[in-house]
Amino acid sequence: MTNSMQEADKSNVIFIIGTNTTWNHPVFGGMIKKAVKEKGVKLIVADPRSIGLAKLADIHIKQNPGSDTALLMGLQHIIIKNGWENKEFIKERTEGWDEYVKSLEFYTPEKVEELTGISKEQIFETAKLYATSGRGAIFYAMGITQHTHGVDNVMSCSNLQMILGNFGLEGTGVNPLRGQNNVQGACDMGGLPNVFTAYQPVINEDARKKFAEAWGKKLEDMDDKVGQTITGMVDNAGDSIKAVYIVGENPMMSDPDLHHAKEQFEKLDFIVVQDIFLTETAQVADVVLPAAAFAEKYGTFTNTERRVQFSNMALNPPKGVKHDHEIIAELAKRMGCNDFPDTVEALYAEIRKLSPSYAGISYERIKKGPGLRWPCPTEEHPGTPVLHSGKFSRGLGLLKAITYRPPAEYANAEYSMVLTTGRMLQHYHTGSMTRRSKVLDGIVSSGMIEINIEDAQKLNIVNGEKVKVSSRRGAIEITALVTNKIKKGIVFIPFHFAETAANVLTNNALDPVAKIPEYKVCACKVEKIS
Partner 1 sequence: MCGIRSSCVLFHVKFRIIIYQIFNNFMENKVNIIIDGKQYEAAKGKTVLDVARENGVYIPTLCYHARTGKAGKCRACLVEIEGVRGLKESCAMEVREGMVIKSNSEKITEVRKMIVELHLSNGEHNCIACEKNGHCELQDMAYHLGIERPHYAVESHTMELDCSSEGIIRDPNKCIQCGRCIKGCNHNVMHEVLDFGWRSGHMKVICDDDVPMGESTCVQCGECVQLCPVGALTFKNAKGKGPYWELKKDKVICTYCGVGCSVDVYTKDNKYIYSLGTEENWENQTNKGMLCVKGRFGFDFLNREDRLKTPLIRKNGKLEEATWDEAFDLVVTKLGDIKAKHGKGSIGFFTSARISNEENYAVMRFARGVIGTNNIDHCARL
Which residues from 36-55 bind partner 1, rule CB under 8 A?
Answer: 37-38
Site for partner 1 in 377-416 (CB under 8 A): none
Q: Does 509 bind partner 1 (CB under 8 A)?
A: no
Q: Report the C-alpha gap between 293 and 311 in whole angstroms.
A: 12
* 8 Å CB contact between 518 and 407: yes
Residue 105's closest CA among 406, 407, 399, 402?
Answer: 402
Phi, psi of 171 (to 5 degrees): 80, 20
| Nearer residue to partner 1 within complex by CB, 192 or 475 | 192
* 8 Å CB contact between 495 and 505: no
What 3-state DSSP class applies to 444? coil
Rounded to a whole number of angstroms, the minimum distance from the CB of residue 170 to partner 1 is 16
- Count the residues of the shown chain that bind partner 1, applying the rule CB under 8 A: 145
Q: Does 464 bind partner 1 (CB under 8 A)?
A: no
| Nearer residue to partner 1 within complex by CB, 35 or 449 | 35
Site for partner 1 in 94-153 (CB under 8 A): 145-146
Rounded to a whole number of angstroms, the minimum distance from the CB of residue 331 to partner 1 is 6
Rounded to a whole number of angstroms, the minimum distance from the CB of residue 159 to partner 1 is 22
Q: Does 207 bind partner 1 (CB under 8 A)?
A: no
Q: Report the C-alpha gap between 169 and 175 in whole angstroms.
A: 13
* 8 Å CB contact between 137 and 171: yes
Stretch that binds partner 1, among 123-131, 332-340, 380-388, 463-471 (CB under 8 A): 332-340
**Cα–Cα–Cα angle for 129, 125, 521, rounded to 5 degrees:** 100
Scanning 170-316, the segments in alpha helix (DSSP H) are 183-188, 205-214, 230-235, 251-254, 258-266
DSSP string, 460-482: T--TT-EEEEE-SS-EEEEEEEE
Q: Does 481 bind partner 1 (CB under 8 A)?
A: no
Task: Check the CA dihedral 424-425-426-432 and report its sign.
Answer: positive
Rounded to a whole number of angstroms, the minimum distance from the CB of residue 268 to partner 1 is 9
For partner 1, which residue of 97, 124, 199, 245 counts as binding (CB under 8 A)? Answer: 245
Q: Is 45 left (phi over 0), alpha (psi -120 to 50) or beta?
A: beta
Q: Does 186 bind partner 1 (CB under 8 A)?
A: yes
What 3-state DSSP class applies to 97? helix
| Nearer residue to partner 1 within complex by CB, 116 or 471 | 471
For partner 1, which residue of 8, 11, 14, 25 counts as binding (CB under 8 A)? Answer: 25
Q: Does 192 bind partner 1 (CB under 8 A)?
A: yes
Site for partner 1 in 426-455 (CB under 8 A): 426, 428, 433-434, 436-440, 442-443
Site for partner 1 in 51-90 (CB under 8 A): none
Rounded to a whole number of angstroms, the minimum distance from the CB of residue 166 to partner 1 is 21
> How would you class 410 by CB atoms within 10 Å of its CB: exposed for 0-12, middle for 13-18, buried for 19 or more?
middle
Strands (E) in 396-513, as ranges, are 397-398, 417-422, 448-452, 466-470, 475-483, 490-494
| Nearer residue to partner 1 within complex by CB, 123 or 424 | 424
| Nearer residue to partner 1 within complex by CB, 498 or 514 | 514
Rounded to a whole number of angstroms, the minimum distance from the CB of residue 516 to partner 1 is 4
Site for partner 1 in 355-384 (CB under 8 A): 369-371
DSSP string, 159-203: HHHHHTT-SSSTT-SEEEPPSSTTHHHHHHTT-BTTB-GGG-BTT
Rounded to a whole number of angstroms, the minimum distance from the CB of residue 224 to partner 1 is 8
Rounded to a whole number of angstroms, the minimum distance from the CB of residue 134 to partner 1 is 23
Q: Report the C-alpha gap between 200 and 202 in whole angstroms.
A: 7
For partner 1, which residue of 98, 114, 269, 379 counts as binding (CB under 8 A)? Answer: 269
| Nearer residue to partner 1 within complex by CB, 190 or 360 | 190
CA dihedral of 403, 408, 411, 417, whole degrees rounded to 10:
-110
For partner 1, which residue of 106, 124, 340, 410 counts as binding (CB under 8 A)? Answer: 340
Rounded to a whole number of angstroms, the minimum distance from the CB of residue 510 to partner 1 is 9
| Nearer residue to partner 1 within complex by CB, 124 or 245 | 245
What 3-state DSSP class applies to 109? helix
Residue 506's closest CA among 491, 492, 493, 519?
Answer: 519
Q: Does 177 bind partner 1 (CB under 8 A)?
A: yes
Stretch that binds partner 1, among 10-18, 103-111, 125-133, 180-188 (CB under 8 A): 180-188
Residue 250's closest CA among 430, 441, 433?
Answer: 430
Rounded to a whole number of angstroms, the minimum distance from the CB of residue 481 to partner 1 is 16
| Nearer residue to partner 1 within complex by CB, 318 or 512 | 318
Helix and strand totals (H; E) in the chain: 19, 19
Q: Does 338 bind partner 1 (CB under 8 A)?
A: no
- Greatest Cα pair distance, the chain, in angstroms, is 69
Site for partner 1 in 289-308 (CB under 8 A): 289-291, 293-297, 299-305, 307-308
Rounded to a whole number of angstroms, the minimum distance from the CB of residue 244 to partner 1 is 5
For partner 1, which residue of 129, 425, 459, 475 counts as binding (CB under 8 A)? Answer: 425
Stretch that binds partner 1, among 82-90, 114-122, 464-472, 510-518 (CB under 8 A): 510-518
Residue 113's closest CA among 98, 105, 103, 123?
Answer: 123
Site for partner 1 in 209-238 (CB under 8 A): 211, 215, 217, 221-223, 225-231, 233
